[in-house]
Structure 1
Amino acid sequence: MSIQKKVTKLTKQQSEQGKFQNMYYEVQLPYFNPQSNSLFATSLLNNPSLLNIYQQAMSSYLQGYYKQAIFFAEKLLCLSQDSTALPYLVFLLGMCHFANQEFSGVYNLFLKHKLTQGDFAVLGARALYSNRQYEMGIEILQEETSSQSDWVRGQCYEALENKQLAVSNYFECLQKTPTNVRVFQQLVDSYLISSDEKENLVQQIQLSSDEAWLKDYYLSKTINYDIVNSKLADHLQEEKRKIVQQLQIVDKVETQQLKPSPVRSPYIRKEEIPIQNDLIYVALEKKNNIDILNVKAKKAYYNYDIASAYDWSLKAIKQDPLYFEVIPTYVSCLLELEQIAELYYCAHNLIENYAQNALSWFVVGVYYFSTKKYEVARKQFQKSIQLDQHLIYSWIGLAHSYAIQDESDQAMSIYRSITRQFPGCYQAHVYIGMEYLRTNNLQTAILSLQQAKDINPTDPMIQNELGVIAYKQKKYNEAKDYFLNALVFCQNSNHKIRESALQNLGHTFRKQKDYKNAIQIFEKCIQLNSVSPQIFFGLAFSYHLSELPNSLSKAIHYYHKSLSLKSDQTFVQDMLSKALQEAADMGLSEYIN
């Protein structure tokens, strides 16, 4: 091929790529500004009858009367003889078909008129995606390079479970259009990217000074403000020393034995990304904007501050009871707080208004899960997944419904599916590790928990589970270090994970025969939960083993307290009998009576 022909072909391709852009704007412009100089407006002005039909079509479309809009748009296309106006009329009719969910009609219409470039390709691909014809959607977008085409192509790849290409296209879309909030939310909220990728994405997004508030919003969705020190090891040692002081542990605790594994997370950043506190963002925050409330609720929930998460999400729900973004957090809080009546109302409200939405059936599943009807809950989660296979909450709920009934194989299979489909979700790795720990497969449990720790090193549950494994392996100093880590990461929380880590720390001191510190820890546990038979047993057992003054009488007192809260504890009954016998042998009958 000659150089001239090559240049001609290249020029033609470039002009074709720029063809049929901004069609949504061009098609609607004559309705709002009939005197504009656009080709389409000029064509309509030359024919008043067609202009009237066009106005009827657009008015119906904007008011949501899509069938009526289709009627007028079809007549307009039939009557028009102006080839210049033809693409705009075809696109208008395609818009109306799409809005009326007649997806096959959109693609067939464009194909009939041989209009498959630019915005025609994008709208056609959106229709094919909605019709679950994902391969055809990708094919029609082969020659397209706009940000919208990247977005739709990414959706098609995601539906085909090709996460790598989906993420690649979403990244391309955000590079071209950084204000595409929906794509950013899809990447972050659907756990499609790892922590490193979140960090890199936020750093790469370039926004103007007028859009600084949007950058703050992006940052707020990816950064954990409670822990922002780039030197995690130093930060941990300092915080652990504070925890030791708060717990009034008598002797110095060795906290330098373990160095945390290298972290790859936006929560502990190599370079701090400062929030700009843009005036618009601050104003939205003061006005309790619903999206900002949602971000705060999620952040509080993942920091195990359930009470605050509930308060933030409830404020959002009061603004809009059907605000889908906050509902998973709101429902999770209700489950944690055992607010079954409120959970029932939420589920009923969603089913009544959105019976075909996957999230509605997820909430119904959570309600049945809260009432311990796990088989029924499982069916609701499965129905939710059938409606939307990308709703991660339903997958996790389904796995939990098996795990709680000790059906480990099914639960593990689903957890593994979650790790494949949602690579940024560390919780699935945690649950896999917990299942392995439950079956005493300690080495494999460590591998899963380390994977979770790589994604999010600041989750106290991960640290607590690693501590339990070290405890089982009789590596008590290592276990103690993990439990202190967990206490650092949930120090502002009243969640049961704090109680669990503190109680485990007490048992670790007891195993090391450091009974004074063990007793100190268990007494702190009682301040968190004064009706736990396990805590009172731990305190009683520590007193029983120690040689502190009046330790035997205190042990007997706390054994009784533990049994008063739960009477069917065989080991506690045996230890109480032994303590009473020892007291009798020592002639301490006055303490027994």
Structure 2
Amino acid sequence: ANLLSIKKEKVTQYLPGFPTGQQYQSALFWADKIASLSHEDPQDIYWLAQCLYLTSQYHRASHALRSRKLDKLYGACQYLAARCHYAAKEFQQALDILDMEEPTSKKLLDRSVKEENRIQESDWEMTPASINSSICLLRGKIYDAMDNRPLATSSYKEALKLDVYCFEAFDLLTSHHMLTAQEGEARARLGTETDLRGLSNQKIRYNKPSDMVVPEMVNGLQDNLDVVVSLAERHYYNCDFKMCYKLTSMVMVKDPFHANCLPVHIGTLVELSKANELFYLSHRLVDLYPNNPVSWFAVGCYYLMVGHKNEHARRYLSKATTLERTYGPAWIAYGHSFAVESEHDQAMAAYFTAAQLMKGCHLPMLYIGLEYGLTNNSKLAERFFSQALSIAPEDPFVMHEVAVVAFQNGDWKTAEKLFLDAMDKIKAIGNEVTVDKWEPLLNNLGHVCRKLKKYVQALEYHRQALVLIPQHASTYSAIGYVHSLMGDFESAIDYFHTALGLKRDDTFSVTMLGHCIEMYIGDTDAYIGKTSYIGKMTSFATHAKTDLRQSFVDAFRVQIVCPLLRHSLTSTKLPLKATSAQELFIGSFIKWVSVAEQPHTQA
């Protein structure tokens, strides 16, 4: 007996729960001997199965437990047996072990056997709550592998309910965007533990711009890498890419392959056009982690960023989705690779797949709506924008696109209100709008104010847009157009000349410049008085309708992110004249798009 005790102690020091372990073959040797010496005591068989599992002998481990029916007697054994089949990718068999139902008489017999052995669930170094939570977590992973997302979501939520410290379940729910309105419920569950509330809030996915403040309840964790990554994500979602890059670079120095940091860092490199750095990172990831989808996602992002390599990008993004079919960012980027080439149907197919996998993320709906808008299907575009708005009601990018639809429907007042609401959301996190990503919003506010004949305000918004992107030809054209409507043809001519200096093939500016010069040097007496002038300009708009049917394309680079990045940003440019320009720009992975304007009659 004394020898048996010594040998057991010898085995336990090699088992994985101990810092001095990791010698699994040695542990397996001694576990096998102890099981024989103890006449196959259930706990010793359990440790033997653990050692077999750790040495990747999954079927032997399962057989050691199931041949002795320990999986039907003890929750820990049931969990380990199912985990063996899950590791062997035998998902249905693993699910059968977890869901097997025994007759009542059999349960009573098993209970008496356990009482005879005098082994309680607490003797397995796992509490009953922890065992049940682990079983629910494993069941969720199995359903996830079988593409049954609703049951996977329910299992993860049940695991979190059974054990509030089961962070893996919470992380899977949030990182895979499985929660929508229920996300508040999960957060409330974690919120019952005050020391967890701050940490859980850091993991809640983006749905609006927010301040980057570390809660007091996690005081002392400001330098923790997970907390720093969460702060970097907030900066990323708020389009402060330089600060995000500073934080992610700091994390990458301390932990070069931090799993949560990599998608954000990749997205930031794309937004800042750091092609060389992304090239180096993607090659390191592929060399070291060829079976990790984020490695091939990085390669795909690189080829999307350099331009004219969309076929290569699709090849590597497809590999990422093959390794992990539920990897939403890769599906979104895959859709972007088609959208860049105006392959709307194929882009929407990828976005629809992403929407099915990421039910709690508004980005796929937003991109589907944008593609429908680009194909002149405003009704379906409005429907998908509304769905995106229901998921993220305070996201200024979604509000912006809904406002664009209202503008195209001629509802100027609603469009103005939505644009201003989006502006308020942005200003809520800072004093001024200083990020160039918001330039289309300012220009579109100028367009809608022009429609409402608020010419002074329209000029102010366009000038603010010039501050963000000074060399933008379409903004100069818009300012010139407003000046022409105000009768200030001299200023209008100056701005149209500036626009043509930046973009010589700007059809709208060429046409407007000619008409403004004619009005400026012509018989000015005919234009004295507001009524006479507006009548002339209305006549011009009617005359110009035929000449201005060509697209007024504002070719500037536009980008995306995901959630992860996990976040993509979009923007649609409103029409300046007799045609409508819609432009995407993204902040959640990688997209540069130049989009032709859609026909739209200028009032």
Q: Scaled by the length of structure 1, what TM-score is found?
A: 0.76
Aligned ranges for residues 142-181 of structure 1 at < 5 Å?
Answer: 142=99, 146-181=132-167
1:368 equivalent in structure 2? 303
- Residue 184 of structure 2 is aligned to residue 199 of structure 1: yes
Paired residues of 1:103 and 1:130 also in contact (CA < 8 A): yes
Q: Distance in 2 between matches of 1:351 and 1:339?
A: 18
Which residue does 1:222 correspond to in 2?
Answer: 204
CA displacement, residues 228-253 of structure 1 (integer Å, 9 cap, x when unaligned): 99xxxxxxxxxxxxxxxxxxxxxxxx
Are 1:135 and 2:121 counterparts?
no
Match of 2:323 in 1: 387
8 Å CA contact 1:460, 1:497 repeated in 2: no
Shift in CA distance, 226/56, structure 1 to aligned 2, threshold 3 Å: closer
SS of the aligned residue for 2:244 comes to helix
2:75 is equivalent to residue 118 of structure 1? yes
- Matched with 1:299 is 234
Structure 2 residue 276 is the aligned partner of structure 1 residue 341: yes
Gaps of 5+ in 1: 1-42, 230-273, 588-593
Deviation for aligned residue 1:325: 0.5
CA shift for structure 1 position 226: 7.5
Pick the aligned partner of 1:555 from 470, 492, 495.
Answer: 492
User: How far is 1:184 from its partner?
Assistant: 0.9
Equivalent of 1:583 in 516, 520, 538: 520
Secondary structure of 2:290's counterpart equals: coil
Structure 2: which 5+ runs fail to align?
Answer: 102-130, 525-603
2:137/2:156 contact within 8 Å kept: yes
- TM-score normalised according to structure 2 size: 0.75
1:154 is paired with a residue of what secondary structure?
helix
Distance in 1 between the 2:489 and 2:187 partners?
60
Per-residue CA deviation, residues 189-240 of structure 1 (Å, 9 max, x unaligned), is: 210110x2111111133655xxx332211123338798799xxxxxxxxxxx
* Equivalent in the alignment of 2:338: 402
Instruction: Tell me the CA shift for residue 437 of structure 1.
Output: 0.8
Whole-angstrom distance in 1 between the partners of 2:354 and 2:306: 25
Among residues 429, 443, 448, which one is paired with 1:503 in the alignment? 443
CA distance in 2, matches of 1:346, 1:154: 32
CA deviations over 1:37-81 (Å, ceiling 9, x no partner): xxxxxx6x4337845863685499966755xx2365146415753
1:490 alignment partner, SS class: helix
Match of 1:352 in 2: 287
Question: Shift of the alpha carbon at 1:333?
Answer: 1.5
Contact 1:199–1:222 (CA under 8 A) maintained in structure 2:
no
Between 86-95 and 341-350, the greater mean CA deviation after superposition: 86-95
Q: How many residues are matched?
A: 488
Partner of 2:402: 466
> Partner of 2:381: helix, strand, or coil?
helix
In 1, Cα distance between equivalents of 2:36 and 2:267: 59
The aligned runs of 1:158-557 (5 Å cut-off) are 158-194=144-180, 196-205=181-190, 207-208=192-193, 212-222=194-204, 277-278=216-217, 281-285=218-222, 288-372=223-307, 373-491=309-427, 492=430, 494-547=434-487, 551-557=488-494
Q: For residue 310 of structure 1, report the CA deviation from its aligned partner.
A: 2.5
Superposed CA offset, 1:290-345 (max 9, x none): 01111112222223333333333222222211001111111111111211122112
- Give the superposed CA RMSD: 2.9
Contact 2:208–2:392, Cα closer than 8 Å, also in 1: no
Supply the AA of the counterpart residue of 2:505: D
Provide the C-alpha distance between the structure 1 equivalents of 2:325 and 2:206, rounded to a whole number of angstroms.
28
Q: Deviations over 1:462-484 (max 9, x none)?
A: 11111111111111111111111
Write out per-residue CA displacement over residues 122-180 of structure 1, whole angstroms, 9 at most, x where no aligned residue: 12222222222222112111269711101101111122222222122212211221111
- Hey, what's the Cα distance between the residues in 2 that align with 1:60 and 1:464? 52
Which residue identity does 1:540 align to in structure 2? G
Code of the aligned partner of 2:445: L
- Aligned partner of residue 322 in structure 1, secondary structure: coil
Whether the 8 Å contact between 1:366 and 1:397 is mirrored in structure 2 is yes
- Aligned counterpart, 1:266: none
Instruction: Give the secondary-structure state (helix, strand or coil) at the position aligned to 1:474.
Output: coil
Note closer, same or farther for the CA distance 1:496–1:436 as it changes in structure 2 (3 Å cut): farther
Q: Which amino acid aligns with 2:495?
A: Y
Percent identical residues? 26
Look up the equivalent residue of 2:49 and give its one-letter code. G
Tell me if the contact between 2:435 and 2:468 (Cα under 8 Å) persists in the aligned partners: no
Greater shift in the superposed pair: 311-320 or 82-91: 82-91
Measured after TM superposition, the shift of residue 488 of structure 1 is 1.6
SS in 2 for 1:458: coil
Counterpart residue type for residue 406 of structure 2? A
Whether the 8 Å contact between 1:334 and 1:342 is mirrored in structure 2 is: yes
CA distance in 1, matches of 2:202, 2:448: 38
Say whether the 8 Å CA contact 1:153–1:166 is kept in structure 2.
Answer: yes
- 1-structure distance, mates of 2:259, 2:522: 67
